[in-house]
Structure 1
Amino acid sequence: MPWLAGFALFLTVTGIVWGYWFAPADWQQGNASRIMYVHVPAAWVAMAGYAALAICSFLSLVWRHPLADIAAEEISPIGAGFTAVCLVSGSLWGKPMWGAYWVWDARLTSVLILFFLYLGHIALIRAFDNKAHAYRAAAILALAGAVNLPIIVFSVQWWNTLHQGNTISFTGPSKIYITMLYPLLIASVGFYLTFITLVVARMSSAISERKTTALLRAAAERAQ
């Protein structure tokens, strides 16, 4: 954990500092484009986090693996946090570019729905006294909400949106200067490692708490 956390912090700070102070500004958007070194990694992690949540939910429903339930429960608040960062940073970028903090654009709306899906998953787990029922209901919601992921990805292609199209391609040439791409990718790796670090830390804490509760319950039963 210390090594993972340190590496995540190093890459995140390196990418953001490089992007904000040393990478060139965009020729059209100027310095406002520098928000992408936070906005884009947060958006990628928000979607990847929900994909991980859906996978854990599938494992929970099919194999009833308790570790999948714990992982899903700990992923959702962290994923919601990264989605909130994505929405806020996007709004800060939208004001100088579009003249408004928020527009009901297909990409923005679908990401807002992603945020509500995370919140819904958190609320469902806490809405039941029976944990098994809570995990099952939350897993069904997570799997149903996974339909939103391709909508987010392809929204700029399927509809005429204000949000700019994809500038980074893994199958062809990217529409971004290489001097801007490097810090963006470094920051993104840092964000991913930060997400993993937080999830592992929360899972470790949750497992320790369950073990402690089980030991205390066993001790109480023996005392009776």
Structure 2
Amino acid sequence: MSAANQISASVRPVDVAVETRPLPRLLAGLTVVTILGVIAGLYMALVYAGTDIDQGDVQRLFYIHMPAFFGAFLAFGATVIGGIMYLRTRHEKWDVLAVSGVEIGMAFAIINLVTGSIWARPIWNTWWTWDPRLTSEAIMVLTYAAYMMLRNGIENPEQRRRFSAVYGILAFVTVIVTLVIIRIRPDTIHPAVIGASPQNAQGTFELQATPGVSAALGVNMLVWGLLLPVTLLWYRIRLENFALHVDALKARLLER
């Protein structure tokens, strides 16, 4: 297959015309709200919320740590939706949503792991332990990292999109396991925020014990768990569509 034909096969004309316009007003407004939300969330976490009596200031990482996981959950959920819809319609826009979700979800999952590791050093006296919760999240991150590597290794565009759709749907199992493992593995030392923590938990979070904790958590859940991942996902989709548009233009030039 010639270079022009290969590019043409990967980009359908109906798909490349979208999102090549100037920044939509809704996205521009969402961006402003998100930036203000991030600033407000940091203020709530670093200044407004009281200092935990037992853990000290390191507990403030919790206001980013937990919401970041739900940001990853949302993004990986978008990958599932994109994968299902692509398998049903074979429309490339759903593949764009799926791969964008993986990349944004990976960013939030890594933030969750890094902040958790920094918190664990003074509380657990180690940067890392093979606790069931930590192990399950490490597997989750590696699973989605493999998604990106395997996707980039498939040359045929249709096979790449179909494989990515199925893989992205199945990979979400690791997200569910990471979310519920605190409830099904009583031997974990990772604390729970909602409901009772496991018996062996170290460094528990009490929402009512420290002034301002609930408010700071609520603001950051809104920002890191919803506004920021949605905004970044929208930008990533636009970027991917710009790339597809450029590929389509290259294909047309090569065909002349």
**Does TM-score exceed 0.5, indicating one fold?**
yes
Whether the 8 Å CA contact 1:12–1:189 is kept in 2: the answer is no
Map Cα deviations across residues 28-86 of structure 1 (whole Å, 9 max, x no partner). Answer: 32222111111111111112211221121111122222111011122212211111110
Q: Which of 172, 191, 194 is residue 167 of structure 1 equivalent to?
A: 194
Partner of 1:138: 164
Amino acid at match of 1:40: M
Judge which range, 145-154 or 174-183, deviates more: 174-183
Judge which range, 11-20 or 24-33, deviates more: 24-33
Q: What does residue range 169-188 of structure 1 map to in structure 2 within 5 Å?
A: 175-177=206-208, 179-188=212-221
Measure the CA separation in 2 of the matches of 1:99 and 1:110.
Answer: 20
CA RMSD of aligned residues (A): 2.0
How many residue pairs match? The answer is: 218
Measure the CA separation in 1 of the matches of 2:254 and 2:117.
Answer: 53
Q: What does residue range 73-152 of structure 1 map to in structure 2 within 5 Å?
A: 73-152=99-178
The offset of 1:98, in angstroms, is 0.7
Measure the CA separation in 2 of the matches of 1:65 and 1:176.
Answer: 45
TM-score normalised to structure 2 length: 0.79
Alignment CA distance shift 1:186-1:27 (3 Å): same
Judge which range, 92-101 or 189-198, deviates more: 189-198
Question: Is structure 2 residue 46 aligned with structure 1 residue 12?
Answer: no
Amino acid at match of 2:172: A
The offset of 1:3, in angstroms, is 1.5
Partner of 1:54: 80
The offset of 1:216, in angstroms, is 4.0
Partner of 1:45: 71
Q: Which of 162, 185, 207 is residue 241 of structure 2 equivalent to?
A: 207
Amino acid at match of 2:142: F
Measure the CA separation in 2 of the matches of 1:210 and 1:144.
Answer: 26
The offset of 1:220, in angstroms, is 4.3
Measure the CA separation in 2 of the matches of 1:189 and 1:34.
Answer: 16
Select the structure of larger CA radius of gyration: 2
Whether the 8 Å CA contact 2:48–2:216 is kept in 1: the answer is no
Unaligned runs of 5+ residues in structure 1 are none
Measure the CA separation in 1 of the matches of 2:172 and 2:178.
Answer: 10
TM-score normalised to structure 1 length: 0.89
Partner of 1:65: 91
Identity of aligned residues (%): 24
Whether the 8 Å CA contact 2:100–2:237 is kept in 1: the answer is yes
- Structure 1 runs (4+) deviating above 6 angstroms are none
Partner SS for 1:146 = helix
The offset of 1:190, in angstroms, is 1.6
Amino acid at match of 2:44: W
Alignment CA distance shift 1:196-1:25 (3 Å): same
Measure the CA separation in 2 of the matches of 1:218 and 1:150.
Answer: 44
Whether the 8 Å CA contact 1:7–1:190 is kept in 2: the answer is no
Measure the CA separation in 2 of the matches of 1:12 and 1:64.
Answer: 37
Amino acid at match of 1:23: A
Partner SS for 2:212 = helix
Whether the 8 Å CA contact 2:77–2:101 is kept in 1: the answer is no
Unaligned runs of 5+ residues in structure 2 are 1-26, 197-204
